[in-house]
Amino acid sequence: MQIKVFVTLKEGVLDPQGKAIEHSLRTLGFGGVSGVRMGKYLEFEFDGSDPEEAKHQTRRMCDQLLANTVIEDYRFDIQD
């Protein structure tokens, strides 16, 4: 199974990287851009055929390593 994990800062957490990107985009002439948020994207293969087990293991991975759940949210997609 292929798993795609998206990690983003929680709403209300300051995002200095996002602000820097937004500023740079405006400097380059992209004036209509606002609210830029920076995140992480991970993609990996998971051996197994049980989607529920894949969900369980992916949640554990995110909670223990891939996301700082104090300041970040995550979501993931699982594809066979």
Helix (H) or strand (E) holding 42: strand 39-45
- From CA 24, how far away is CA 21, in angstroms rounded? 5
Give pLDDT tens digits for 9-52.
999 999 999 999 999 999 999 999 999 999 999 999 999 889 99
Amino acid at 71: I
Q: CATH second-level architecture of 2-79?
A: 2-Layer Sandwich (3.30)
Give pLDDT tens digits for 48-70.
889 999 999 999 999 999 999 99
Domain locations in the chain?
2-79
pLDDT of residue 48: 87
Residue 80 above 90 pLDDT?
Answer: no
